[in-house]
Amino acid sequence: MKNWDDLRIFHAMIGARSVREAAEKLGTTHATVSRRIRSLEAEMGHTLFERTRTGYELTSFAQAVADLTDVVGDNIAAIDRMAFAKQGGLAGTVRLSVLEDLFLAVLAEPLSAFMELHPLVEVLVDTTATLSDLRRLEADVVVRITRDPPEQAFGRKVADSPLAAYASPDYLADRPEIDRWIALDYPPARAPQLQARPVLRCNSIGAVVRMLERGQGIGLLPCFAGDKSQGLTRVAEIPQVPDMEIWVLTHDDVRKNPRVRALMDHLYEAFKGTRGLIEGTSAAAG
């Protein structure tokens, strides 16, 4: 690879589900990534990526190339972090990665307030479920639901995030003899917590909320999603299930960047005000 851009594009494609996803990571266009990968393959005389049902997979040749370029890529990422950290002032971009359902339930209003406070900061929000790599600066700040924050991350835990059982009032008023279980496709939420037959499983929190609101059964949800819905109520006979934690994180190398610092401090305060909702202890949970 004769220039840094080739290396960036190659690494962005590793593990990407689509060329579009790689382009979004790089802040460029789908066409640019496709063209540069084709050019790189022509220059090397080897195919680098094969399209599969789940995304793009490295060929054996590309895997060998990846192994050799990992250290170079890490060093380039370190240079990027150093350059970003040295940027001063509260004008420019800051990239935030957060699960869409958590953003909609908890962070939309606080982020709006941040935008009012800092009109010269452009916030680039990534609400995909793909975990952003802080080390590669795919995001400057991440709000991550985890029990195991990544190495070299700086930040703090802002809340526990348990699961609770929910159903619509109409369903609970006319329950069948054997309950219907609506499962979030997430291991702790799949198995029925009472005598019930599984009728639906879905990997989208929002979709599960909608099906429960329509009276289709009972299911486990993060409290921040279930308690936020006006169409759902807690199923009191099923105890709350301890689950994950919510962390606000950045890479240690960029934590002193003014925009990163301002956003993280704002998020810390926002989560203080919403901790009861997230942990299922607010009035909404009653």
Residue intervals in the chain for CATH 1.10.10.10 = 4-85
More confident residue, 19 or 263: 263
pLDDT at 284: 44
| pLDDT tens per residue, range 45-90 | 888 888 877 778 888 888 888 877 766 666 666 656 555 555 666 6
Residue intervals in the chain for CATH 3.40.190.290 = 89-286
pLDDT at 4: 66
pLDDT at 70: 67
Write down the CATH number for the domain with range 4-85.
1.10.10.10
User: Would you state the structure tokens that stand for residue 4, as one six-digit string?
Assistant: 């840094």
Contacts of 97 (CB under 8 A, 6+ apart): 125, 126, 128, 131, 132, 138, 139, 141, 142, 143, 144
pLDDT at 128: 67
Q: How far apart are CA 134 and CA 150, in angstroms?
A: 9
Strands 141-146 and 241-251, sheet pairing: antiparallel
pLDDT at 164 over 80: yes
**What predicted TM-score, i.e. pTM, was given to this entire model?**
0.68
- Phi and psi angles of residue 229, each rounded to the nearest 5 degrees, phi first: -80, 125
More confident residue, 89 or 224: 224
- Burial state string for 159-187 with b = 16 or more CB within 10 A and e = fewer than 16: bbbbbbbbbbeebbeeeeeebbbbbbebe
Architecture of domain 89-286: 3-Layer(aba) Sandwich (3.40)
How confident is the model over 233-243, as a mean pLDDT? 95
